[in-house]
Structure 1
Amino acid sequence: MTESTESLEEFRARARAWIRANLRPLEANEEVGILRPTRTDEQELAAVARDREIQRMLFDAGLAGLCFPREYGGQGLSYEHQRAFSAEIAGYEYPARLQVPTFAPCAAVLLEFGTEEQKLAHIPAILKGEEIWMQFLSEPSSGSDVAAALTTATRDGDDWILNGSKIWTTGAWWSDWALCLARTNWDVPKHRGLTVFIFPLNSPGVDVQRIEMLNGGMEFCQEFMTDVRVPDTARIGQVDDGWTVGTRWMFHERTYASSPYTISTGGNSIHGVSSSWVLDIARATGGLADSRVRDLVGEGRTLDLVRDALQNRLATGMRSGKMSDQSAAIARLCAGVTSTRLTSLAFDIVGELGAAWSAEDGAGGEVGADFLMRQTATLGGGTTEMARNVISERVLGMPREPSLDRGRAFRDVPRGGRS
């Protein structure tokens, strides 16, 4: 553990020295593109193992969980320490697969709503890289309307029995634990009958199926739960009050890039898209001599600067209480818009390579597939359409759009196939 008397600059120097002595510098364009299938399954599992190893190294060095409380294995430091560490580790390998959703939103939800026993059991294990968590939130029937969950949890003595399906869970096939939203009451409006549970992904009755995307990637998964037995001690928050947990859950998901719990090195999370990527493509394809290409690169840099400044502004405002935590939707919208635009800029720059490429085309290759996948940035983590609704109604105070299910028992709400 670090001493509380360590100044921010002393911490930064210590972190810098440790990073350069222990971690491998990343190669240019090593982690770029839109969910590119760059590894075999064996290579992906090896990369996951390396992420766990690095996380344990960070823990042993007193550099894991900088803003987590000391009693759960963290360092109890400030957000400024986390930002300094993120700046120092940029350009080096780090446990990227643990940042989202393990640290944010899952560990953040455990810190806010978990029991003392749950936090002691799981937060240290997360900080040591022993547990990778997934969020079981979206469902095939409801998309971003997570309150319309049909996955059911039925009470059975001291246990709950879960049945249903979740979808679009990135990396569930190599993960350990799930944070799951389920319906426990069908006789109240949809937001009032939800409860949150945690359980291991290797629990009996959990079947994880991978989904092949148009670029050949298979990181997204769908999970089927059949009579999965979960003890009541694995419940997060109160029965039927899961929406209270859920609103904070989505807050932490939307603000992962400025979260005090995650390493953020720029770009757009699993979408390795940034202005530096666009610049690398322009250089590799010889386009910088073209003034039009330089304009596109400049637009990309502007988008990065605006996005980063906005995230910092929102994080500061929400931490101080001067801005509603619903303002997290602004960050979500900005991330989706900038990611799709940056990918479009790259596609415009590569020209004919956007239609056909080979392994010898370097940074200019695969951009065509990235372009076809670009809309994933507006869907994952809640759609940008949902973010616009939140901004208009809950941030700007505009009238709410009509809803046929408001105030109705959820079992009486018409669903697909019914008139």
Structure 2
Amino acid sequence: MTPGSTTDGATTESATTGGAMTEAGESVDLEAFRERVRAVLRANLRPGDPNLLSWRNPLSEELTLQVVAREREVQRILYDAGLAGLCVPRAYGGQGLTPAHQRVLNEELAPYEYPMRLQIPTFEPCLGVILEFGTEEQKLRHIPRILTGEEVWVQLLSEPSGGSDLAGALTTAVREGDDWILNGSKIWTTSAVWSDWGLCLARTNWDVPKHRGLTVFMLPLRQPGIEIHPIEMLNGNKEFCQEFLTDVVVPDSCRVGEVDGGWEVCVRWMFHERMLHNSPLVTSPPGAMLGGSAGLTAARDTARAAGRLTDPTARDLVGEAYMLALVKEELDLRVRDGVAAGAMSDQTAAVGRLFSSMVGTRSTDIALELVGVTGAAWADDDGELGAVGTSFLMRQSGSIGGGTVEMARNVVSERVLGMPRELAADRGIAFRDVPRGRPARE
């Protein structure tokens, strides 16, 4: 990666105040761009509904499908207005602009609806992976459809037996002529029940160490052999799913990267996943992905709702929430710019992932401290104060989804700080010879 570039090929901001350079070397006035964005949003989008713009609020299946349909429409509106894929190269339907343009759009979206459920994992990490490793034919076929909202993507990574050990995948892909036959199960797949395509990690070679026998495929989710089962979470949300793949046929033209070279793809895949909250590919108002209890506004509103806005202790907590949100934003910018300029390893994204989880957890704790006993035992008429209790019970999910914080700590220690690697009993052993536990009894 060269200084002044991003992972998707669009150039970064120029040194000119208030301006930026496009991939074609054109200078663009960001303030003029902001005015255009404001006009488009004002003319085409509805005010945002906080109850619909949060993963934490469980929706009925019927309402979820309605919301997703509307978000596809919003994505198409942005595309038709030239506001989708701002940092995606023009050759694939994007605008070839800069992260500065994306930040402008994100800032102006704050009062409006936006296609939240189409951003993760469709744009990050899936679109990021396709941009880096897809063939030209794959890019031309899928990226424009992603930008218009026609294709929503998921990542078929985690497995019931694997935990955070992605390289220990047991889902198999066996070649038969020009096709591959996939069998196995994936789990914790966000939004699979209403999505269209998936990136799937599968084992293609059992006779080499586990990291060397993996391959990545793209496959449509609506085809024979794929069963999708929603998983109900503690708060009633059902966005996570488990998939069962039985003799699923995937043509070799849908392979991403080299045969048995899937771990190379996975390393960058994990980079994109750790950059979710700070990616120039993602359209999202600032702070939106931190959840309802993060940042100054939410903490202040919680204190007000609890009748503690003038309480010195509560004000200290609100100040802490603001400080955490501010530091996170600045850290994200530093990591993003450092990686883009080549001054930092792309593994530094794990620093942002780790801190993001810490901020989310602490911000939820702060909200619970602000509402007190209502957050521990709430009634139906407690409204947003009661919701704080549910958010507190769900807060650990932010330390698991998007790659566990334990894995992020490992990456920071080993690949950023250069500390010795953990001992691994399966290192250097053919995967078929690695001991595995007995299957659970039925």
TM range (shorter): over 0.9
Paired residues for 1:256-295 under 5 Å: 256-267=276-287, 269=289, 271-275=291-295, 276-295=297-316
Partner residue of 1:72 out of 92, 99, 115: 92
Q: Distance in 2 between matches of 1:304 and 1:271?
A: 11
Aligned counterpart, 1:18: 40
Shift of 1:27: 4.6
Q: How many residues align?
A: 416
Partner residue of 2:324 out of 303, 307, 312: 303
Confirm whether residue 225 of structure 1 aligns to residue 245 of structure 2.
yes
CA contact (8 A) 2:181 2:247 kept: yes
- Distance verdict in 2 for CA 1:31–1:364, change over 3 Å: farther
Partner residue of 2:410 out of 389, 393, 397: 389
Aligned counterpart, 1:101: 121
Confirm whether residue 255 of structure 1 aligns to residue 275 of structure 2.
yes
- Equivalent AA in structure 1 for residue 283 of structure 2: I
- Equivalent AA in structure 2 for residue 402 of structure 1: L
Q: Distance in 2 between matches of 1:269 and 1:166?
A: 24
Aligned counterpart, 1:151: 171
- Per-residue deviation, residues 110-147 of structure 1 (Å, max 9, x unmatched): 11111111111100000000000000011111121111
CA contact (8 A) 2:170 2:184 kept: yes
Aligned counterpart, 2:13: none
Aligned counterpart, 1:326: 347
Aligned counterpart, 1:183: 203
CA contact (8 A) 1:29 1:277 kept: no
Confirm whether residue 137 of structure 1 aligns to residue 173 of structure 2.
no
Q: Distance in 1 between matches of 2:71 and 2:306?
A: 32
Q: Distance in 2 between matches of 1:117 and 1:158?
A: 17
Confirm whether residue 355 of structure 1 aligns to residue 370 of structure 2.
no
Task: Calculate percent identity across the aligned residue pairs.
Answer: 61
Confirm whether residue 234 of structure 1 aligns to residue 234 of structure 2.
no
Shift of 1:268: 5.9
- Distance verdict in 2 for CA 1:141–1:45, change over 3 Å: same
Paired residues for 1:193-232 under 5 Å: 193-232=213-252
CA contact (8 A) 1:165 1:225 kept: yes
Aligned counterpart, 2:7: none
CA contact (8 A) 2:328 2:359 kept: yes
Shift of 1:297: 0.9
Q: Distance in 1 between matches of 2:436 and 2:403?
A: 20
CA contact (8 A) 2:184 2:245 kept: yes
- Equivalent AA in structure 1 for residue 418 of structure 2: G
Shift of 1:5: 5.6
Shift of 1:269: 2.3
CA contact (8 A) 1:258 1:264 kept: no
The CA RMSD measured in Å over matched residues stands at 1.8
- Note the residue ranges of structure 1 that are not aligned, 5 or more in a row: none
- Secondary structure of 1:169 counterpart: strand
- Note the residue ranges of structure 2 that are not aligned, 5 or more in a row: 1-21
Q: Distance in 1 between matches of 2:396 and 2:382?
A: 24
- Secondary structure of 2:378 counterpart: coil
- Secondary structure of 2:283 counterpart: coil
- Equivalent AA in structure 2 for residue 326 of structure 1: Q
Q: Distance in 2 between matches of 1:46 and 1:189?
A: 46
